[in-house]
Chain A
């Protein structure tokens, strides 16, 4: 690990003062950043500990919630308001990592966690994300966990967060504060597709600090988070589905939110499937057709072709179950 200077910030202003430098990184629970530093992938010269900044969960005027970026995953998942009004969020968090990691990890850090591509982690491998322009060893290598949607020739990595999939489905917003002031980012605009610059993963600028996540008032309908992975716990999603479904008494879909994890470089909001389903009769055929349409552009690699079928089936099964509950 490269030596670094450690600061503990008491408030946002203090964090920004030390965190604005090009070699600085904000430190949440460290459950990802410290690993990356140990591997020599991240080499900040300054670490600004922001775990004491923004640690509250507050009711918002519009009926939503404002979640401080320093709130731990465990605190968020066990908050009564979250559990009752946003069970999707609690379920997504509890589907991830382990109890010990959730106790340390923060909401802000969770949003910025980096891919689990094994070539990204290995300094001996070519990786455009780690060293821009060096190539991508994953394209022709082990890519069972890699992207089927929105990938580029430069990068086929996936985004690993569970929480973010739920936040994408809920149309959350993220508040960042930087040297130029405060701004809000719609969740769909927070994470980026890789394109030719896979080293750029979010629209958060250097020096900016995530201070809060805004959850709008809870959507009407039932929700579910289903995560499919290689063991029962402590594994990243091969495919995950966050869904909210509102079906009327006439069995017609009034509203649906659908986001996918494990399939792309960002949380994948399934807008095409949503559009197909709104106003449609909620039955198995409609769900299967919507899932198929969402995956129509999927591009498999050597090892991950199964994800297309897995994603279709999981989407359809989750929606079918939600529709059944609603009936």
Chain B
């Protein structure tokens, strides 16, 4: 279906496709592109920003959970009497007394957003090790925690598939991978590989990762009759409202989700079982409920990145041009989620090749549903692909940047579409010059400082442009000329409200302090999900549409006495707090004046973003070059990253301060992926054995070196405001850049992440 639409749209001119002709701001106002500090910064530093676990409601009870200790089977018995009699306890909820609820709908299989579409606490069945089997409500958190420890559960375990080495043998090809085909075949890649004068053929593995946002998952919920108020930490307000409505058999309008601040999302702040359980318990108890997962609770109830086993094989001719590109492999998954970890996606768009075989399968296991985690697919897919390219460059004695340059495609190599904008070569050139790539010794292991061997590595970063349909925005201008822009958007610390205020100010010709960006509430016009690096551009498109509708309305009410009389939308620019005829600044009237003459307190307009047809007509991807310099101890194998540089081509950068922070955050997560992060999933029990920040190693300050970030800042002519998303690309390529640097330092190639010291001894 997607293939057909893409092919058809290739022949439709841009003029007929509204989404592919983004509307630039006319006139120079100077907010977009400025390093404006985050408007939520002072609120957070001063403690005034209220998060989901800080909302206090009258009569509120606190929840604690009991987690299953088997991976599959049935609850044979649950003893709750001791917990019920413990001090302060109001309710113990189990499958025996939980309200009847429909299973939540998942993202791809039914228009919902739940991380898993399994029913929640509806019978004695246990689906994964760590699933919530009981919930205790008490007057204080401490009382609830204590009572939860008194609940005794006995199980009838059933045979569970928790060993990936077994599950892998039953891997199957899914119907599709995020609406794309699970397999792409062009030519006979295996044959071309066999005939190629130069080739590499390697296996790479990446482990499970867990979400570790600073803010623990939390919700404060209350029922008002049949209306549910859910104070949540979420990156998907509207989807959560709709899915919760489905679970409780009410209308989406009867669920209001509020989430003004989110302390880190990364794909993990979605709809999991804890919000559903809290709402069910609140209904049962007839009182509001606060639930905040413990760190262990996050590991037991919120999915993370799944593990992958990948093969990359590349055949090249004498000049290094790829004649075959094979990327295939398997990822673990559950039967009840829709995150197949699309690790073959980078190879579909990055390099020209004579033939392709790109195919991924899934191995179902009995485990907590895996989920999206910053650049799902691309983060681990670029590890394998970009290491393999480094290995090929090594065997051919060609500089790895040069090898990539020789395979730079003119069009998207698998879809055949034109790129909307692609300046990867420039990103490499700029990055190489700034990083000092020419100081790299191509011979591994030659550069030393005492016991430390020094190496440099490079890799391509990539993440697709995405804009999901259906979001809207409303703009209201009051009698003082102050604009309020409203949409159910999300602020997870990346600068959403700041950047959108910058754009709206330019779009409406207002100073920054004359614009309020209102978000974080599902009752506002439908917002864009903060996922897939698309919220910024999707919101820009909706705000642009709303601004046009508003300007039309302003021109309509301006009347014949206005200097704007007779002008139409296409004739005017928004400037100096009002509208003016383009090219004739003397025909100008301020918003306040227009409203005063019309006798209006305010004027408002709402509009939806145009359909994202640009995504189908063009191959749209952000790209970049990641550079790393590492030191590896000859004695202990310890790896210390000394320098990192990311050089990105992401279209226009709207706020360099916020963008630099996003890029750096992504790169740090990539450092963790490369060197330290690994969820220890015990194959015997299906249980995560390191559910804490002490034993699950994210990089700490001392692991993180200076990180330089630069960008091309070349606008994408087919993206709103010329911008493509930047939230996820930072993590991509980092794993390979560091692995390649470790190879350059030591001559040892580690193909299994994380690169811990034992692999280098």
Contact = CB atoms under 8 A, between A and B. Distances in A.
B703 A1 contact: no
B142 interface: yes
A238 B636 CA distance: 10
A1 B757 CA distance: 37
Contacts of B697: 230-231, 235
Interface stretch (B219-227, B337-345, B683-691): B683-691
Contact of B635 (A3, A118, A125, A317): A317
A232 interface: yes
A281 interface: no
A325 interface: no
A272 interface: no
Main secondary structure of the interface of A (DSSP, over half): loop
Contact of B636 (A1, A228, A232): A228
A79 interface: no
Interface residues of B, number: 35
Interface in B661-692: 675-676, 680, 682, 684-685, 687, 689-690, 692
Given A231-B676, A232-B700, A124 B695 contact: no
Contacts of A313: 635-636, 761
Contacts of B146: 1-3
Contact of A122 (B684, B689, B703): B689
B640 interface: yes
**Chain A, interface residues (CB within 8 Å), range:** 20 to 34
Contact of B684 (A38, A118, A141): A141
A1 B145 contact: yes
A228 B149 contact: no
A306 interface: yes
Nearest to B695: A118
A2 B689 CA distance: 23
Interface in B450-473: 451
Interface in A115-158: 116, 118-119, 121-125, 137, 140-142, 144
Nearest to B87: A3
A137 B682 CA distance: 10
Interface string B744-761: 000000000000111001
B695 A141 contact: no
Given A230-B756, A233-B702, A118 B680 contact: yes
B635 A142 contact: no
Nearest to A313: B635
Contact of B142 (A1, A118, A230, A310): A1
B694 interface: yes
A309 B544 CA distance: 63
A118 B688 CA distance: 10
B682 A142 contact: yes
A124 B685 contact: yes
A144 B145 contact: no
Contacts of B637: 310
Given A232-B702, A233-B700, A235-B697, A310 B685 contact: no
Given A122-B689, A313-B635, A142 B700 contact: no
A232 B142 CA distance: 35
A137 B676 CA distance: 24
A231 B695 CA distance: 11
A74 interface: no
- In this complex, the member of B640, B675, B684, B761 whose beta carbon has the largest number of chain A beta carbons within 10 angstroms is B761
B684 A310 contact: no
Contacts of A233: 700-703
A40 B761 CA distance: 38
Interface in A1-40: 1-3, 38, 40
Interface in A204-258: 228, 230-235, 238
B534 interface: no
Contacts of A1: 142, 145-146, 149
Contact of A144 (B638, B682, B758): B758
Nearest to B683: A141
B699 interface: yes
B69 interface: yes
A230 B638 CA distance: 8
B690 A118 contact: yes
Nearest to B635: A317
A124 B680 contact: no
A46 interface: no
A73 interface: no
Given A313-B636, A314-B636, A234 B700 contact: yes
A42 to B, nearest CB: 13
Contact of B757 (A123, A125, A228): A228
Given A121-B692, A228-B757, A230-B676, 14 more contacts: A118-B695, A119-B689, A124-B129, A140-B684, A141-B684, A141-B689, A228-B636, A230-B757, A231-B700, A233-B700, A233-B702, A306-B761, A314-B636, A317-B451
Q: Which 7 A-B pairs have the closest CB atoms?
A: A124-B69, A232-B702, A306-B758, A233-B702, A118-B689, A317-B635, A228-B636
15 contacts: A124-B129, A125-B687, A141-B684, A228-B638, A231-B700, A231-B702, A231-B703, A232-B703, A235-B697, A238-B757, A306-B757, A310-B758, A310-B761, A314-B635, A317-B451
